[in-house]
Amino acid sequence: MELKKPYLLFLGDVQDQLAAKTAQGIVDWRPEWCIGQLRLEGCKADTGLEDIDIKTAVEHGVGTMVIGVANSGGMLPAHWISNIVEALDAGLDIATGLHKRLASIPAVAAAAERNGRQLFDARFNDIGFATGKGHKRTGLRLLTVGTDCSVGKKYTSLALEKAMISRGMNADFRATGQTGLFISGRGVAIDAVVADFISGAAEWISPDNDAGHWDVIEGQGSLFHPAFAGVTIGLLHGSQPDAFVVCHEPTRTRMRGVEHPIPSIQQVIDLTVDNGRLTNPDIRCIGIAVNTSNLEDAAANTYLAGLAKEYGLPAVDPIRGDVGPIVDELQRNFPA
């Protein structure tokens, strides 16, 4: 997926910051690719970029307008179409990670054709995946798992890859969601894969590799989420992880979008091990990554210290702190 850079990030009129996590992820990990954001009236998200219109974006050399939202169901609201058509008419390509194919919208398809512009649908691919086989693969794999959706699995995976590489380890981030695809330029949007082939797609993105090589696989959903557990378990079986990190947001009481309570970290560890042993009997938890953005510094430090003592594992905030202690634990458990 070769997108023309730099980007204009379109946030539409989303109603909370989490709905703009695709745009925020690109800003956080690829800021040099971003020129500005375009927000409609009533938008309640903000990436911190300058608010600009399409004309200004073109003047600044923008090549692609990225629809930087991740809403429930992955739908594209009808009232955004005029903005997309305007961007195409101004000479920009359009990229999205939503479930609605851009070319399936007549006005968008017509605008792309008359302007010779490209439409990128990150969630769709032309690869025919096999069903999962569960055969032991060479190389090593780490998967991030969550107590809920949108708790930091992608950020943790990217931070771990960066820290591992800085230590001279052979590691690659493997994207499984739309934002990760925009950041890395490769991977598979697992939640758009037909159910029977999810584990096979996970095997495809983390194939046989050198003995000391680590695939750091971006987790999706939660084994406890009634809407998304099916994707999560397929990714777990196909990833065949040797190690996993539990990601958590401590201030939530209910899972995102539903009334189910947040499971405990111990419940997530136990269920991940129980299910993960199907394809890797030696799977183990090597750390806890916590999104402490809703806690003051002192409260965050106290909370992390308490988790580390309770579970006997490193507990860190990948954004506020350093994932080094988790990499230490990884190297202790899997010496080169």
The pLDDT tens digits of the residues spanning 112-145 come to: 999 999 999 988 877 889 999 999 999 999 999 9
Instruction: Name the 3-class secondary structure at 321.
Output: coil
Give how far Cα 216 sits from Cα of 83, 109, 261, Å: 36, 36, 28
pLDDT of residue 179: 87
Length of the chain: 336
221 has pLDDT over 70: yes
- For 228, phi then psi, to 5°, come to -120, 5
Q: What is the pLDDT of residues 239-261, one digit of tens each?
A: 999 999 999 999 999 999 899 99
CATH of the domain at 16: 3.40.50.720
Q: 292-298: list long-range contacts, CB under 8 Å, 24+ apart.
A: 292/250, 292/317, 292/320, 293/319, 293/320, 294/249, 294/250, 294/251, 295/250, 295/251
Phi, psi of 183 (to 5 degrees): -80, -45
The domain of 51 spans 7-121
User: What is the pLDDT averaged over residues 36-40?
Assistant: 98
318/336 Cα distance (integer angstroms): 24
Which of 71, 94, 121 is the C-terminal boundary of a domain? 121
pLDDT score of 75 more than 90: no
Same domain, 154 and 68: no
Whole-number pLDDT of residue 72 = 66
Average pLDDT, the chain: 95
State the pLDDT at residue 100.
Answer: 85
- pTM to 2 decimals? 0.85
Where residue 271 falls among pLDDT bands split at 50, 70, 90?
A: very high
CATH number for the domain spanning 305: value is 3.40.50.300
| Start-to-end CA span in the chain (Å) | 33
68 neighbors 23 (Cβ within 8 angstroms)? yes
Q: Which two tokens stand for residue 296?
A: 């003051």
Q: Do residues 162 and 308 share a domain?
A: yes
- pLDDT value at position 1? 61
- The CA distance from 252 to 75, in Å, is 25
pLDDT of residue 143: 98
Residues 320 and 180 in one domain: yes
pLDDT digits (tens, 9 = 90+) for 165-188: 999 999 999 999 888 988 887 889
DSSP string, 262-281: PPPHHHHHHHHHHHHTTT-T
3-state secondary structure of 98: coil
103 and 198 in one domain? no
Verify that 265 and 308 share a domain, yes or no: yes
**Residue reference for tokens 């903000």:** 46
pLDDT of residue 276: 98
Rounded average pLDDT over 93-102: 91
What does the alpha-carbon distance between residue 327 and residue 167 come to, in Å, rounded to a whole number? Answer: 9
Percent of the chain residues past pLDDT 90, beyond the cut: 87
Statement to judge: residues 149 and 290 lie in one domain: yes
Instruction: Note the pLDDT of residue 165.
Output: 97
* Whole-number pLDDT of residue 3: 85
Q: 116 in a domain, yes or no?
A: yes
- Please state, for a pLDDT cut of 70, what percent of the chain lies above it: 99
113 residue type, one letter: E
Q: Whole-angstrom Cα distance, residue 55 to residue 37?
A: 12
> Would the pLDDT of 81 be above 70?
yes
Say if CB 45 and CB 175 are below 8 A apart: no
Confidence class for position 18, pLDDT limits 50, 70, 90: confident
Domain count, the chain: 2
> Is residue 172 assigned to a domain?
yes
Mean pLDDT of the region 308-333: 97
Dist CA 297 CA 293 (whole Å): 9
pLDDT of residue 215: 98
- Contact predicate 102/109, CB 8 Å: yes
Q: Where are the beta strands (DSSP E) in 83-210?
A: 93-96, 119-121, 140-146, 171-174
- Does residue 236 have a pLDDT over 90? yes
Is 278 in the same domain as 209?
yes
State the pLDDT at residue 185.
Answer: 76
